[in-house]
Amino acid sequence: MTVFSVYQTLRTRWRGARRFVRQVPYLGSARWCPVCECRSRRFRQFKHHPNREAMCVHCGALERHRFLWLYLQAHTDLFDGRPKRVLHVAPERCFDEKLRRRLGDGYLTADLMDKRAMVKMDITAIQFPDTTFHVICCSHVLEQTPDERRAMREFCRVLKSDGWAILLVPVTADRTFEDPSVVDPAERLRLFGQEDHVRRYGPDYVDRLQGSGFNVREINVPDLCSGDEAQRMGLVRSTGSIHLCTK
C-alpha cells in the first residue's frame, strides 16, 4: 500500500467519523425524510430559515424538497417507466443522482452558473425547440431572475402540450414586490430576503404564471398528508405550495 493510498484511507475514515459525531445529536426515529428514507430524532436548522427543523441531517433535503418529492412520487407520472424528456433547472443535490438513476437518458439538468449541470442554460432564452420536454422542474430560481415573465413564457414554449411543469418560488409577501433599481446585495437582503433575490412573491404569483400561458393548480401540505404525517416529515406552514403548471 502506497503512502498516498494510506492517506486516502485515513482521510475517508476521518470524514466518516466526523460525520457520525455530527449526527449523534440527531439519532432517533421521530422524523422521517421521504427523499433519503432515513429517520432521525429531529431535523436541523438551516441558515436563516424560519423553521428550526428545516434540513434532513442525512441528505440535506429541506422541507420544500421533502414536500416536492412526496408529490412527485405519489401524484405524478414521473416514475411510471414510460420514456420522458425531463428538464431540471438548478438541480438540487438531494435529488440529482436519484433522478439520474430513475429517469435515465431522458433526464437533463441545466444551470447558468453551476458546473455540475449537464448544460449551461439561460432560462430566458432556452436553447431547445418548442414542445421538447414532457416535464420541467424549476425550484427557487425565478425570484432571482430579473425578466421572470420571459422565463415563464420560455418554459411554456418548450413544454409539450400534454406535459407538466413544477415552478416553485418562495411566497413571502401579501403581493409580489420588486424594484429593478435595487442592486446592492445588502439592500436586496433587506427587501427581498436574500442577496441574490430581485423580488418577493405573493399569492399573485399564480396570476403571473397564468398570464404566461399556463393553467395552474396549487397544492398544499394538507392536500397530501395529515397533521401527524406532516410533522413526522417536518412539513410546516413555511413549507409553501407546489405550483403545477400545464398548457
Kindly provide the b/e burial profile for residues 86-109, where b requires at least 16 CB atoms within 10 angstroms of the residue's own CB.
bbbbbbbebbeeebeeebeeebbb
pLDDT at 22: 63
Percentage of the chain surpassing pLDDT 90? 77
The full set of domains in the chain, from first to last, is 76-213 (3.40.50.150)
Rounded to 5 degrees, φ, ψ at 154 are -65, -40
6 has pLDDT over 60:
no
Over residues 197-212, mean pLDDT: 97
Task: Pull the grid cell for residue 150.
Answer: 420571459
Task: Pull the grid cell for residue 203.
Answer: 399569492
Q: What would the pLDDT profile of 209-232 be if each residue is shown by its tens digit?
A: 999 999 999 999 999 998 899 999
| CA distances from residue 61 to 96, 162, 215, 222 in whole angstroms, order as listed | 12, 29, 28, 20
189 vs 19, more confident: 189
Task: Pull the grid cell for residue 159.
Answer: 413544454
Q: What is the spatial distance between Cα 204 and Cα 225, in angstroms, rounded to a whole number?
A: 25
Over residues 2-13, mean pLDDT: 58
Percentage of the chain surpassing pLDDT 70? 89
Q: Is 243:68 a contact under the CB 8 Å cutoff? A: no
Of the pLDDT bands very low, low, confident and very high (cuts 50, 70, 90), residue 8 is low
18 vs 152, more confident: 152
pLDDT at 23: 67
12 has pLDDT over 90:
no
62 has pLDDT over 70:
yes
The 3-state DSSP composition of the chain as helix, strand, coil percent (nearest 5) reads 40, 20, 40
